[in-house]
Every structure is written in structure tokens, then in C-alpha cells.
Structure 1
């Protein structure tokens, strides 16, 4: 990959466990990300932006100064559509538009060229955001996360909008979770701790990897808990074909490089980076791939700085 075309950024969400435990402040997160070798950042606004959804001009100014201090580019402002903000009803269409527009305005003030939103925004609302994108000169992209893929009906509508009325302003953020092929080490450890017998789990994973149908695998001697976990494995690790990247890359301004656990010097066993990254290169992608570590969902005591450094090292084989 041409280093000028494709570069690495990091989602500050990767450092959630350190931020939540107050080991790192926001400034510490930025400094660490820079030191690991990343060039840009994504911030999950609801997590790390004080007074979200309406940060003060004072904070915005201080944040810009920190980015300048650590020579980091603001790449993506991750927004949040909080359907449950009211206890009596869901948000109306007009409220969703206003919340999304509010995020776009503050993202622009903070220097971000892109807002990442969620698929809970409907195609009809998404289309109505186009004039706001044009006026603010900012992109609005929806994250495609597991279990979604390009052939889901609603995604076909989104992608059509990205290619037509919203061209240049609407886009997709593919999350590598859509390509996950097998449980990672931390999940396997959790399943064993929860009571999945090792010999039975090993057999389930072998059959899953060999694409034996779920109904056949469930014929194993499994207890109720093991059957439930087995169904979850088949559902969660049912990857989108990597060839589908050809549908996504033309409307992709930004990518989430999801990962859960990296052994020292080894590629991710869960997500086939060795196949994904060369395909992204071949398709001519230009932009940032953001490291998004989510191992903290399974073990809050993992050495996250070590994981992020390994991520840079592994990706450097391809970029």
C-alpha cells in the first residue's frame, strides 16, 4: 500500500479501559496514540467530549491545541443517536435530524471533516441530511458493523444514496467485524470460564471452521449452555465475503480496523487482515484505517498500549 494513500489512525475508544479507570486522561490518550505511530484520531464524542452533545467553545479550543501539540489530525467525530433519551417514546424523525445536525456542527467546529453515524438513521433521514452536509462541507458516514453487510435491504438503499444524491458527502465506514471468521483468544477464554467444556468447545470450533452446518454441530453431546454458545459462534462468525469490499470502497471515506487480541508478532486470528488489507490496496482506497481495539469487552486488564503497538507493526507489513 502506498503510505501516501493509506495511513493509520486510531479510535480513542481503543483506550476505553485506561480512560474509564482514569489511568489516562484525554491528553494522555492523544500522546500515547501519537507515540504508538498513529497519524490521526477518532473520538467517540459521547465518551470523551465534556458536556456532549454541546461542548463549550473553551473545550473545543483546548482540544484543537492538544491535536496541534501532538501533531495528530482530527479524522472522525463519532456521533450517537440516543433513541432512549426519553422514557416514554422513541425519537421523532425531526429530533433525529436535529441531533445529527448538532453533531455535525460541533464536529466541524472541532476540525473534523467526517461524522460517523449509526445505521439507526433511516435512509429517508439520511437523504434529508445531504443539504446540511453540503452547507457545512462535512461528510456523514454510516458504520457497517456485524451482522450487517452490503446485501441487507436497508444497506442497498444507503449505498444507492451514497452513489447518487449524496455522492461526495454520504459514505460508509466498513468495520472489520463484518469479516470475522472465528472466535478470538479472549472470547474462547470467556467461554471456557463460563463452563463450556474444553473438549466440546474444541470440537465445535473445528466443525465451524470446516463449515459444517449448525444443525449438524448441535448433534454433539452439548448441554443447554453449550448449545446456546454454539449458536452464538455460528451467528457472530459468519463473515461477509471479502470480495464485497468492491461494493464498499468506492463510497468509503474511512475504515474501522476492528481487532480483539494480537499475539506478539502474529496477525489477528479472528479477522483476516492478511487478506483484507491487500484487497483494500488493490481497490485503490485512499484514506485512514483506524485501529479499533475491543478486547476490553472481554478482559479489562489487557495491556492495551502493547496491543496497539502490535497493530501498527502488523499493519506495517501491508501499508
Structure 2
């Protein structure tokens, strides 16, 4: 029986980063593959998909719209980045950060995107300053709540405090499902083993992750076990692969309008071994979420040293899983 919900499916073209970098897929190929899976909402990273960003030739913009129309897809989300650290050997000023973000809002509008992902390191004061333009362009800005951040992290709470005070419905959240890493990713484990991690220490790290041991304590423990540099590097990854309760999204659901459906692999059984989508999607349905589940495949960087990367197959598998969990099949 079909589940009652209005959740839509999409793909972040970041999922095809490997194939794009190696020139195995063009922008049109990426859009065609996503749309062919029934994932019509396209999320784009300008730096990946267009040359000379932010001065993108009009011919490329025209090609973007032609590809969307040809494949029956539509522009859904633009991912912005903000370099807050160094610009000509100094930090960006507040006004420069606002100008950078306003530039991205205009570019998102130019692409036809109604949503813009705000990179998590963006100061909330900068987001607030951009609310009037976002409202004028009718683009919803969502900070990416990305591991190791979560909805109760002080940075996100500060963002909530300042943006809610605007009273605007054009600012909210884009949760990244990487903050729901219940099991340590197998592709991480296997790569560290190939790099020379100590098997006994790897097992210890896996047990510590399952027990939610703080990373600093884990590092102290494995140093006493004689950890080598690769072991220490593996332990550090537990800091960024956190498990947060997906039900925490329910309180924030009125302000959640896009989901980064992060995944590292979909195995032969059709499941993501690390991120329990069978627990996550029912929460989204319960909360009345009406936005997109946007595929974000990031397993390629953990297997490319030993295996042929096939982002297309992994994205296909994730959407088969989505269709099953969303009641489409």
C-alpha cells in the first residue's frame, strides 16, 4: 500500500563527482541519469558543474535549462560555499561575506533554484543579513546541519535563535543524514585496513563507536595499545561520524525544506549499512516533511584506491531503497 506523504526524490550532482572529475559524465549525463531514476529534483554545485564560476557564460546557463527540459527534470537546490578564513591573506569582513552570499543567491535564482544550501560554517549573522534578498528572489536558505554538528549543537542553536527572530519563512535547515551514522561505515574500515591499520585496534575502534565513546577518550586508549598513525587517523573519523536520534528532527520539521540523503554505500541487500534509512524515513513521514530526499553519494573517495567507482549504480540502488521505504513499489 502506498504510504501517505508528499516526499519527493532528487539527486545532488555531488554524487557524480568522481565521474565528473574524470570527464566520464557531462552535466547533461548527470541530469539524465538522475531523472531516469524518477529523481527529478536536481541539486547543483556551481564549482563542479560550471566553468569560471561565478562568471558563468550564458551558453552554459542555457545548456543547463536545455538539459533539464530534455530530461523532464527541474532545478531544486544550489549549494553555496563561503571561504570565511582567508582572502588575500586575511579573513573576510562581514560585508564581504554578505556580498559573497548575495552573489550566490543571485546565481541560484539564475539557475531557477528555489532552495539554497548554506554551508554550516556560515555565521548566522550573515544569513540574517541576506534574508531580505532571499525573500525578494523567493529562495529558501537552509543551513546544512552536518556532522559533527546536530540540532542541539551550540552553533546550530545560535543560528536558530537569530534566524527565528527574523520571522521569515525563507530561512531554515537542511539536515545532512551523515549525523545519523549508527554504524561505523564499512568502506571507511576497509580502507584504513588497506592503509595499514592494526586489525585489533580497528576492532576496538568499531566497538568504541558502537558504544558512543568520546573520540578523545578513544584516542587515549588506543595510544596505550601502541596505535600507529593510521589507527589514530581512523579513530579521529569517529569525531565526524556521530549518531544523533532522527526523531530530534520532528521539533524542527516546520523549518526543514530539504534533506541531504548522505550515503557511503548501498549493499547488495539494498540497505545502507551505516545510516539506517529504515528509521529515518518514517520520522520524515510522521513529521509531514514535503521536500526532497537528495542523494549525496560520498563512498567513492573511500574505495577509489582499490575498486572501480560506479556512482551511477550506487545512486540507482539508493533510489530503489527510497521507493521501497516511501511506498512507491
2:193 aligned partner: 192
CA–CA separation in structure 2 for the residues paired with 1:113 and 1:234: 34
Deviates more, 1:233-242 or 1:184-193: 233-242
CA–CA separation in structure 1 for the residues paired with 2:316 and 2:288: 26
1:138-185: per-residue Cα shift (whole Å, max 9, x none)? Answer: 111111111101122221122234434143100111001111123212
1:236-291: per-residue Cα shift (whole Å, max 9, x none)? Answer: 33312222112332211101000011111231111111111111111111110100
Query: Secondary structure of 1:103's partner?
Result: helix
Distance change >3 Å, CA 141–CA 210, structure 1 → 2? closer
Q: Structure 2 residue aligned with 1:297, among 277, 297, 301?
A: 301
CA–CA separation in structure 2 for the residues paired with 1:161 and 1:246: 20
CA–CA separation in structure 2 for the residues paired with 1:317 and 1:159: 34
**Do 1:118 and 1:143's aligned partners in 2 also have CA atoms closer than 8 Å?**
yes
Equivalent pairs, count: 319
1:318 aligned partner: 325
1:241 aligned partner: 245
In structure 1, stretches of 5+ residues that fail to align are none
CA–CA separation in structure 2 for the residues paired with 1:15 and 1:230: 25
Q: Structure 2 residue aligned with 1:232, among 230, 236, 239?
A: 236
Question: Residues 75-224 of structure 1: matches in 2 within 5 Å?
Answer: 75-83=76-84, 86-211=87-212, 215=217, 218=221, 221-224=225-228
1:66-115: per-residue Cα shift (whole Å, max 9, x none)? Answer: 10111111110111213356231111111111111111112112211111
Q: State the Cα distance separating 1:294 from its structure 2 match.
A: 0.4
CA–CA separation in structure 2 for the residues paired with 1:52 and 1:303: 27
Q: State the Cα distance separating 1:39 from its structure 2 match.
A: 1.5
In structure 2, stretches of 5+ residues that fail to align are none
Distance change >3 Å, CA 91–CA 66, structure 1 → 2? same
TM-score, normalised by the number of residues in structure 2: 0.89
1:46 aligned partner: 47
**Do 1:175 and 1:255's aligned partners in 2 also have CA atoms closer than 8 Å?**
yes
